[in-house]
Each structure stands twice: as C-alpha cells, then as structure tokens.
C-alpha cells in the first residue's frame, strides 16, 4: 500500500478512535459503560447527534461549545483526538502497511486513554489495561501468523512476563512509592516490546524511569514540585515504551556490538 494511503488511514482511524476515547476517559474512571447511554452534553443533558461528534470539525465549528446551551466543551476532546491521530500516524510511518499496524493502533489508543486518566486522576484503570492486553495479544498473534513469524507470539508473552517481573520487583522494593497500576501496565508494554525484540523490554522500562527522573529533577529545579510531590508514573512508562518501539532494536544491536 502506498505510504500516503497508510498515513491517511492512520489519521482517519486515529481521529475516530480518539473521539471514542473521549467517552472512555470520562466514563471508565467513574465505573460507567462506554456503550450506553449515548453521549450527551454534561451541562444541559441534551443528546449529541452526528453533527456534534465529527472529530475536530465539530469542535471548531461549534467553537468549543454545546450547540444547545452554549456551555464550554473544553479542550479535552480535541487534545485526545489529535494525540490519538498523531500516535497512530507515527506507528504508520514505522510499520507501514504491515499486518502488525492495527495491533499497534490498539496500544496507541490504550496509552492515550491511560496517560490522560493518570495525569488527571493518578490511576490506571485495570479495565483499560486488561482489555488492551487481550485485544493486543490477539492482534499481534494474527500479525505474526500473517507474516509467517510465529516465534513472535511466544516472544511477546515472554516480554510481558519480563516486564511484569521487573516492575513487580521494583514495586516490592518501593515500599508503597509506586502504584500497583504501573505493575498492571507493565505486561501490556512488555507484550509489544517483546514482539519486536526481547531486548527492548528492559530498555523501554529503563527509558520510562529515566524520563521520569529527568522530569522530576526539572520540576524540583523550577520549584513546581518537591521531594515528596507525587507524580503519575504511567505517562513516563508509556513514553519510554513508545521511544523504545522506534529506537529500541537499534540500541540492542549497539549493545551486542559493544
């Protein structure tokens, strides 16, 4: 498939999935269903129709307000839609029309939702993590079989186990400083990193801790955080994983050649 068509598909799918994620990040933390009831304005309760739900376009046309009561919608929908389309496109540039691309769309969608919720509520809902793991494993398995690379199936599972073991040990040694949601997230990240290369699993986790440490030091340096200030760690693990997806295999090769 032509690269332009792949990128176009990534953008369209990203915007559509991103629109759905605005419902996910709002309802899942409250224990609500993402299927029912239909989307409605949080202020006036008026049910949203198709013209209100077109990704980005509806927000721009309505100038970020409910068409019925004029209440501000906020920036959340457009940020989530753009973020999802962006990560889908980055994966499209990395994998092209490979059968594994839909699997990485699943990862991208899960990470956008989890990062947003963690930044806002300091928690990583297990409903999202576990669902993404199951769907991701199925999609990765299909991709491995389509590409005639069945060995990647067991590598992905081993990667998930390695990530869980590493994060589990760190959790036990942290004495409550790390949330158990980060431990639950680890197998999902390891699943994908292991699929690519088992060596990228510890690299992705290390990058997450490194990024978190840098951000923490900078935050303390500028006075926006203190030594005891709690920072959500999920976003750092997610970013470390995404970086490892793109450059992790190259780092592994450099290590083996050293």
pLDDT for the residue 229: 66
Upstream peptide bond of 29 is cis (omega within 30 degrees of 0): no
At 56, the pLDDT band (50, 70, 90 cuts) reads confident
Query: Which of 127, 151, 128, 124 lies closest to 140, judged by CA?
Result: 151
pLDDT digits (tens, 9 = 90+) for 136-156: 999 999 999 999 999 999 999
Residues with Cβ within 8 Å of residue 48, at least 6 apart in sequence: 38, 39, 40, 41
Contact between 198 and 166 (Cβ < 8 Å): no
CA distance 186 to 181: 9
Residue with tokens 């199925």: 138
72 pLDDT exceeds 90? no
Is residue 54 helix, strand or coil? coil
Mind listing the pLDDT tens digit for each residue in 164-203? 999 999 988 877 677 889 999 999 999 999 999 999 999 9
Residue 7 in tokens: 């990128």
Place of tokens 């949330």: 179
Q: What is the pLDDT of residue 52?
A: 65
Element containing residue 106 per DSSP (H, E) = helix 101-121
Residue 223 has what pLDDT?
A: 67
Ramachandran sector of residue 66 (left: φ over 0; alpha: ψ -120 to 50; beta: rest):
beta
Q: How far apart are CA 194 and CA 190, in angstroms?
A: 6
Express each pLDDT in 214-225 by its tens digit.
888 887 777 666
- Distance (Å, whole) CA 203 – CA 173: 20
The model's confidence at residue 85, banded by pLDDT at 50, 70 and 90, is: very high
Burial of residue 82 (number of CB atoms within 10 Å: 0-12, 13-18, 19+): middle
Q: Is the pLDDT of residue 10 over 80?
A: yes
For residue 255, pLDDT over 80 is answered with no
Looking at the predicted structure, is the pLDDT value of residue 249 above 70? yes
How many whole angstroms separate alpha carbon 77 and alpha carbon 53? 10
Task: Please report the pLDDT score of residue 147 as a whole number.
Answer: 96
**Angstrom distances, CA of residue 225 to CA of 84, 120, 170, 177, 218:** 29, 16, 23, 16, 9
Structure tokens at 91: 């994966």
Mean pLDDT, the chain, integer: 88
Position 119 pLDDT exceeds 90? yes
Q: Residue 210: how many CB atoms within 10 A of its CB?
A: 13
Per-residue confidence at 111, pLDDT binned at 50, 70, 90?
very high
In angstroms, the CA 44 to CA 69 distance is 6
User: How would you class 36 by CB atoms within 10 Å of its CB: exposed for 0-12, middle for 13-18, buried for 19 or more?
Assistant: exposed
Residues written for the chain: 258
**Angle between helices 101-121 and 76-95 in degrees, nearest 10:** 150
């Amino acid at each position: 498939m032509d690269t332009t068509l792949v990128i176009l598909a990534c953008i369209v799918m990203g915007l559509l999935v991103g629109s759905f994620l605005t419902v996910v990040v709002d309802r899942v933390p409250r224990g609500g269903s993402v299927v029912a009831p239909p989307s409605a304005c949080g202020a006036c309760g008026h049910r949203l129709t198709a013209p209100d739900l077109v990704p980005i376009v509806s927000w721009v046309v309505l100038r970020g307000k409910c068409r019925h009561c004029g209440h501000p919608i906020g920036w959340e929908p457009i940020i989530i839609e753009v973020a999802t389309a962006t990560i889908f496109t980055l994966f499209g540039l990395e994998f092209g029309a490979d059968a594994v691309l839909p699997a990485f769309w699943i990862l991208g969608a899960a990470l956008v939702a989890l990062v947003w919720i963690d930044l806002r509520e300091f928690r990583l809902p297990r409903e999202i993590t576990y669902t993404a793991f199951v769907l991701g494993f199925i999609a990765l398995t299909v991709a491995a079989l389509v590409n005639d690379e069945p060995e990647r199936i067991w590598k992905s599972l081993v990667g998930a186990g390695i990530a869980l073991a590493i994060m589990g040990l760190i959790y036990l040694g942290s004495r409550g400083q790390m949330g158990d949601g980060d431990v639950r997230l680890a197998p999902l990240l390891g699943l994908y990193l292991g699929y690519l290369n088992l060596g990228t699993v510890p690299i992705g986790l290390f990058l997450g801790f490194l990024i978190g440490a840098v951000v923490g030091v900078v935050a303390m340096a500028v006075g926006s955080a203190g030594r005891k200030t709690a920072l959500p760690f999920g976003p750092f693990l997610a970013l470390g994983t995404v970086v490892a997806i793109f450059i992790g295999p190259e780092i592994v090769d450099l290590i083996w050649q050293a």
